[in-house]
């Protein structure tokens, strides 16, 4: 490789134009029709993500976790694909019910519930509930004969960006006591569940949790085990590449092969399905030179669509819509949100070509835990959602 080729390759790696995978003309058309900021939900990408995960987990029933992104069009698309749904609140029950989802297609996985939330789910027809402690089991005494309980076990993971087993799940030592308490009061325990954490960068903890759960089931062989729920954790690439989903799931499937054949396996993907399905389109509305860096002020920030940077520990790829020369000049820059709060900064120490007020930027992989946690601080409205079938350029490797 000659010197110029090396320079060009280094420039491409340093300043990648990830928007080349999108149909820029389609994005420009959307910008002409819709005022920024707005999100773009790509239903073709919903198909791709769901089918990719199902192919990597053959035989596993997928229950989409609504909390990551609960847009009705996403839910309707997943319903047509045969997906089922993981619910945690009465609001989520009402949403899926309004879209024609049936209660038997759902599981209620929040380990802590009010009695009226149990009643609402039962009225909907959802009879499978997750519990993880003694007090929660007591809440189901009045519903003996109407419900099936799945006990959540805690498996902590250092490889997960968001550790969900810190807040929920019983220990393996407590498990037999919880099962005995439930059975002794006429309740049927039918399964175990766990969630090793969101955006897990390695399948190791999930594999160990599967094997530990299988061992526990074998010890408590008097229980009529029906289900093992392996939670979510399936990662997506933000700034850094992660394992391809087929590679991530291969050891998971190997561990699941040790499970007795009659036990069904559930999974609760949220991020993996929703994150890549949405981008955000924003405008530069202000520009100022502050010290050695240029500050660009956008019309959305961490109180809006970029809220996942605070609540979800995510860092989204963002780039200008207009093509740029990776060999051209780049400058130390800051991307700030529109609110009056100094915490509202989307990116610091980012190198960008010179931008002007009115220029468009696009944030990628912004479906998961963005709109879900967005606010209207300073009375800035949340970005609207534009639903499309495909924004990827068919002449590129879109996925």
| Helical ranges in the chain per DSSP H | 3-14, 24-33, 43-56, 72-80, 90-98, 115-124, 134-138, 175-184, 204-219, 245-256, 271-274, 308-311
- Provide DSSP, 233-286: -----SSS----HHHHHHHHHHHHTTS-TTSEEEE--SHHHHGGGEEEEEEEEE
Tokens standing for residue 166 = 């810190």
Number of residues that make up the chain: 399
Indicate the angle between helix axes 43-56 and 72-80, nearest 10 degrees.
Answer: 50
Do the Cβ atoms of 367 and 2 come closer than 8 Å? no
Residues 6 or more apart from 393 whose CB is under 8 A from it?
A: 20, 21, 22, 23, 24
> What Cα–Cα distance (Å) separates residue 141 from each residue in 29, 128, 137, 224?
57, 14, 7, 19
Which residue out of 83, 106, 249, 340 is catalytically annotated? 340
CA atoms of 171 and 173, how far apart (whole Å): 5
3-state DSSP assignment of residue 221? coil
Q: Name the residue with tokens 């047509």.
A: 80
Q: What is the CA radius of gyration of the chain?
A: 23
Tokens standing for residue 156 = 């902590």
Nearest to 45 by CA among 11, 81, 82: 81
Tokens standing for residue 81 = 């694909």
Say whether 340 is catalytic: yes
Q: Which residues pair with 87 in a beta bridge?
A: 108
Asked if the peptide bond before residue 230 counts as cis, ω within 30 degrees of 0, the response is no
Nearest to 76 by CA among 55, 51, 47: 47
CA atoms of 7 and 157, how far apart (whole Å): 40
Active site residues: 340
């Amino acid at each position: 490789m000659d010197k110029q080729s090396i320079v060009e390759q280094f420039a491409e790696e340093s300043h990648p134009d990830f928007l080349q995978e999108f149909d820029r003309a389609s994005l420009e058309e959307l910008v002409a029709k819709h005022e920024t900021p707005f999100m773009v939900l790509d239903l073709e990408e919903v198909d791709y993500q769901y089918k990719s995960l199902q192919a990597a987990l053959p035989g596993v029933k997928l229950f989409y976790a609504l909390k990551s992104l609960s847009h009705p069009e996403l839910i309707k698309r997943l319903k047509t694909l045969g997906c089922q749904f993981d619910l945690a609140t009465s609001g989520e029950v009402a949403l899926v019910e309004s879209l024609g989802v049936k209660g038997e297609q759902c599981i209620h996985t929040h380990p802590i519930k009010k009695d009226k939330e149990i009643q609402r789910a039962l009225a909907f027809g959802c009879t499978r509930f997750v519990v993880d402690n003694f007090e929660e089991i007591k809440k189901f005494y009045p519903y003996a004969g109407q419900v099936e309980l799945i006990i959540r076990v805690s498996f902590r993971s250092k490889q997960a960006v968001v550790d969900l087993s810190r807040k929920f799940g019983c220990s393996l030592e407590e498990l037999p006591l919880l099962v005995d308490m439930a059975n002794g009061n006429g309740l049927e325990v039918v399964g175990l569940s766990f969630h090793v954490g969101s955006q897990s960068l390695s399948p190791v903890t999930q594999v160990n949790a599967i094997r530990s759960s299988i061992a526990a089931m074998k010890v408590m062989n008097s229980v009529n085990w029906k289900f093992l729920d392996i939670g979510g954790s399936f990662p997506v690439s933000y700034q850094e590449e992660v394992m391809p989903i087929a590679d991530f799931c291969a050891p998971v499937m190997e561990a699941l092969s040790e499970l007795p054949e009659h036990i069904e396996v559930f999974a609760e993907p949220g991020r993996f399905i929703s994150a890549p399905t949405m981008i955000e389109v924003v405008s530069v509305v202000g520009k100022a030179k502050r010290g050695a860096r240029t500050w660009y002020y956008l019309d959305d920030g961490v109180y809006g669509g970029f809220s996942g940077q605070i609540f979800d520990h995510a860092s989204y790829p963002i780039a200008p819509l207009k093509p740029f020369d990776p060999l051209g000049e780049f400058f130390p820059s800051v991307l700030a949100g529109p609110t009056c709060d100094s915490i509202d900064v989307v990116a610091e120490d980012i190198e960008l070509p010179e931008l002007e007020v009115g220029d468009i930027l696009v944030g990628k992989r912004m479906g998961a835990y963005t709109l879900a946690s967005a606010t209207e601080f300073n009375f800035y409205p949340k970005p609207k959602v534009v639903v499309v079938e495909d924004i990827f350029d068919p002449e590129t490797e879109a996925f």
